[in-house]
Structure 1
Amino acid sequence: MKEVCIVEFPSNLGLKESEPGKEPGVNRLPDWLWKHNLHTFINPKNIKRLDAPKYSNKIDPETKILNANALVDYSREQAYLINNLLSQNKFPFVLGGDCSILLGTAIALKQKGNYGLFYLDGHTDFMDVSLSETGGAGGLAASLATGKGPEKLSNILGLQPYIKEENLWCAGNREYDDEYENEIRNSSATYVSLRDLRKKGIRNAANLFLNEVEEKNLDGFWLHIDVDVLNDQIMPCVDSRTPDGLTYDEFNELNSYLFKSPKLVGLEITILDPDLDPTGQYTKEFVNNLSTVFKKYYNNTVL
């Protein structure tokens, strides 16, 4: 059974300023989750932290992406850390940060073998940079990880693609816009919108993914959880709010199937902004739900 190691990547490099002159607060998420007892509930054997480079709100002229050079440097350092943990047969429980933290992990996965990615998010994060209104890599994370977009970010260490496009499952999007959705519809990734997830049934959708992992004989899969996949009423403290979203019953059911799979090699939590939850009420509920389901279903116990 794998030891759980909490890994803190307190980065906001992939987001635009929350308001002029103010950095996004999501880089304080690991400390915020600590304050609300996630670390205590998960009870990891180790906690590792890698601080991010200095934030800038300037667009890189070459890639049209915010903080592009800093992201390259940070992703390489992240990959080294995650690679070491995977080599030691440990389970990285990663706390972001914004969704761009995926890049470092995806690089490490490519270095280790052929992995799947279950991208649970209220957005696809799969689009060309030309469609981005902000230039934030967080909104491009899934496409960059699968080899799309500027090579500076999609081909770090010459490892493009980090995740094969056909091994990406993007689930939970509710940004219903044809131009946006067609990017992933026209790819070889599997796209399951929030509507489709409910239509298929959560158990069926999870089993389809897990069966595919087995049939392709993948080395494993990584779980990306952007908290904005949750219903806006129970998780409003995110940078891009959208009506609807998963209830905790739906979220917990889906995670229960993924957590108990022996093919799950690690996970990451992104986007919850402490600045938008001053009393901690939404964070506390999230921590309680996530940690309870993880402890119950991950290898039946947490080390």
Structure 2
Amino acid sequence: MTEHQALRIRRFSTDSAPVGERFDAWAAHSTYCDMVTTYRSDLPFDAHRDNVSIGPLILAGRTWRHPDPSLAYDAKRTPARIRADQRDFHSFSLQICGTAALRSDASTAVKRAGDLYLLDFARPFERVITPGSEISLSVPRDWLPADTGKLHGASLTRGVGSLFGDYLMSLYNTLPQLTRHDVPHIVRATTELLKASLHPELDTLAAAQTPIRDLLLQRIRRYIDDHLLQPDLTPGSICRDVGLSRAMLYRLFESAGGVMREIRQKRLYRVHQVLSSPDRPEERIRDVAWRHGFTDEKYFYRIFKAEFGHTPRETVEQVRHRRETGTN
């Protein structure tokens, strides 16, 4: 099993169950809560969830589709369920669309789109869930500050908490691209940012910045390498596929002279590698340059010489000379 193997995403969809049994299948698949209502609609119950283990963390997504937003079902975490499964973790839920009315400790709060809130799974609670979507992250209790449980039911959508909501969305959207190699970086970045969200003091903020920046840079650079020969490799495509804002992308590459300079340098070194290969097929230099995104031949020759100290043609001639004379 290699470190670059994709993470295993476990998926469940009610489509796999007979139409009349789909809500029951959904309820049976609910690991940590009991469904206490019956689904009443002429439309088949249409829902799916997925989850993936990232080291000690579990990232999950849930979607229930229905055109009637007034429909709802109840999901309860009861004392009996708590005793039975003994799950000792905190869950951070980001409401994407729809609502979840949370009842816990004699208080009620409606969580709406954009709300990020904390649930302590060692305590009873009930949620009345309407059609919509959410993303959740489960974190073992001992990975977080000891007083985290006091925020059970609270929303974390101000300050650093809002940054964690954005990060959680970005992490979920890029799950298919993640590998086992990413796991230690993700765990470190996620837990540091969570600590900063729960205790936004200067030291926790400072600790969170470096791992998150490193993780994003690593992911973006891998994306650039994978798409280097595609003509539509632009800041826009990177932001869309990696899942971050254009402003954040520019800040990340500010010290390197910009993201387009990063792309240009990678392409330039790839061209040099091709032209320096003694086994490359016969191909005009300008065609190699064009294939690597350099459509202006004069500009390409100028920056190539500035980078390597000789022209592309001189590079090819040096390779030919070594091949003819048998020298390295």
Interval containing the TM-score (normalised by the shorter chain): under 0.3
TM-score normalised per structure 1: 0.22
Structure with higher RCO (Cα < 8 A, 6+ apart): 1
Larger radius of gyration between Structure 1 and Structure 2: 2
Q: Which has the higher strand share?
A: 2
Please report the TM-score for the alignment, with normalisation by the length of structure 2. 0.21
